[in-house]
């Protein structure tokens, strides 16, 4: 008996890397899996049916249920087809893991508008379109009186919530995925849908280029960067056992850690009568002894002469 016997899940970008591990674990736990992958390069160029088909075949060879899909998650009709394929093949849908993602790293001043658009398109628009397509199905089912217990797991990134230099396009898209997660959780909750996001840490083609041997498995030690380490928590989040929603978790190696949502800083607050003047702000900041520089969200880079 698996933890997800009879459930149907879609995993996007499941032809390689972390998504492949999610798909394999879902199948091991008894779920029917739609293995989606466009099959392109890590910068989003090209397409190939091979990766999705190989993972689906691997699942079927191991006795599981899987179907391959080669659509682009960021294409409106493609996203609709992925959801339709789950329903046509397996009759229902219980989980969606938005994992497909690409990188086009450059310093901000060198990012072309095309590289900006493509990275935002796949990471953010793809997550939106898939969540909208699945969310519409669950809303219809809920309105028809069905008791829904469904889940979406989005893939954000530490780069997005902590701000990696060299990844302005990717970080902006992934930060938006975290925000989208919060809104989707609030909106879809009424239909019985939970929505969470992860910030994964794993050795894949996306990270090997930047970190190389530092992520390699070491003999006799737990393989901390193995992408399969990320999947148990994702499967947990997608399973009816979990009640978590609207949360973001760092997941890698042996660690799962909740990331606090944005919050107003009670220590860094200035109040005046009516509208502020620039001199008034300057004086108030100095008098309150508030931080005026440094690498924090409350910083005032370029300012802070005190």
Ligand X SMILES: NC(=O)c1ccc[n+]([C@@H]2O[C@H](COP(=O)([O-])OP(=O)(O)OC[C@H]3O[C@@H](n4cnc5c(N)ncnc54)[C@H](O)[C@@H]3O)[C@@H](O)[C@H]2O)c1
Closer residue to ligand X in complex, CB, 31/130: 130
Shortest Å, Cβ 285 to ligand X: 35
CB of 71 to ligand X, least distance (A): 7
**CB 183 → ligand X: shortest distance, Å?**
19
Shortest approach of ligand X to residue 43 CB, angstroms?
Answer: 9
Pairing mode of beta strands 255-259, 248-252: antiparallel
- Backbone CA torsion sign across 235, 195, 5, 23: negative
Count Cα atoms within 13 angstroms, Cβ side, for 262: 10
CB proximity list for 219: less than 8 A, separation 6 or greater: none
What's the 3-state SS for 82-149? HHHHHHHHHCCCCEEEECCCCCCCECHHHCCHHHHHHHHHHHHHHHHHHHHHHHHHHHHHHHCCCCCC
Catalytic annotation present for 170: yes
Q: Which is nearer to ligand X, 19 or 95 (CB)?
A: 19
Q: Name which of 292, 294, 228 is nearest 17 in CA terms.
A: 228
The residues binding ligand X (CB under 6 A) are 12-13, 15-19, 36-40, 42, 44, 51, 72-74, 99-102, 122, 126, 155, 157, 200-202, 204-207
With respect to ligand X, which residue has the nearer C-beta, 155 or 185?
155
Length of the chain: 306
Write the burial class of residue 278 (CB in 10 Å: 0-12 exposed, 13-18 middle, 19+ buried). Answer: exposed
Q: Are 293 and 301 in contact (CB under 8 A)?
A: yes
Could you give the CA distance from residue 162 to residue 72 in angstroms, rounded to a whole number? 28
Nearer to ligand X, 199 or 285 (CB): 199
What is the nearest approach in angstroms of ligand X to the Cβ of residue 250? 10
Of the candidates 137, 170, 191, 236, the residue annotated as catalytic is 170
Q: Which is nearer to ligand X, 28 or 207 (CB)?
A: 207
What's the closest the beta carbon of residue 35 comes to ligand X, in angstroms? 10
Question: Under 8 Å CB-to-CB from 201, ≥6 apart: which residues?
Answer: 158, 225, 230, 250, 251, 252, 253
Angle at the Cα of 71 (from 67 to 72), degrees rounded to 5? 140
Shorter beta-carbon distance to ligand X: residue 15 or 64: 15
SS3 for 294?
coil
Q: Would you tell me how many other CB atoms lie within 10 Å of the CB of residue 41?
A: 11
Instruction: Indicate which residues carry an active-site annotation.
Output: 170
């Amino acid at each position: 008996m698996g933890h997800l016997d009879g459930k149907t899940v879609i995993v996007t970008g499941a032809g390689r890397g972390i998504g492949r591990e999610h798909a394999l674990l879902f199948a091991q736990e008894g779920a029917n899996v739609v293995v989606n992958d466009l099959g392109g390069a890590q910068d989003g160029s090209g397409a190939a049916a091979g990766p999705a088909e190989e993972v689906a075949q691997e699942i079927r060879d191991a006795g599981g249920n899987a179907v391959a899909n080669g659509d682009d998650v960021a294409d409106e009709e493609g996203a609709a087809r992925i959801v339709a394929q789950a329903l046509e093949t397996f009759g229902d849908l219980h989980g969606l893991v938005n994992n497909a993602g690409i990188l086009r790293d450059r310093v901000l001043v060198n990012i072309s508008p095309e590289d900006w658009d493509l990275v935002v398109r796949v990471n953010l628009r793809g997550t939106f379109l898939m969540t909208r397509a699945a969310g519409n199905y669950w809303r219809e089912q809920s309105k028809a009186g069905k008791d829904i217990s469904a889940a979406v797991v989005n893939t954000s990134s530490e780069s997005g919530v902590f701000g990696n230099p060299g990844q302005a396009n990717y970080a902006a898209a992934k930060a938006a995925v975290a925000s989208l997660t919060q809104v989707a959780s609030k909106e879809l909750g009424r239909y019985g849908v939970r929505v969470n996001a992860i910030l994964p840490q794993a050795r894949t083609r996306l990270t090997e280029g930047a970190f190389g041997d530092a992520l390699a498995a070491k003999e006799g030690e737990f393989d901390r960067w193995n992408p399969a380490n990320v999947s148990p928590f994702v499967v947990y989040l997608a399973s009816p056992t979990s009640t978590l929603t609207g949360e973001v978790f760092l997941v890698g190696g042996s660690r799962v850690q909740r990331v606090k949502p944005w919050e107003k800083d009670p220590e860094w607050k200035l109040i005046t009568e009516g509208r502020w003047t620039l001199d008034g702000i300057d004086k108030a900041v100095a008098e309150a002894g508030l931080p005026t520089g440094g690498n924090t969200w409350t910083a005032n880079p370029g300012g802070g002469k005190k």
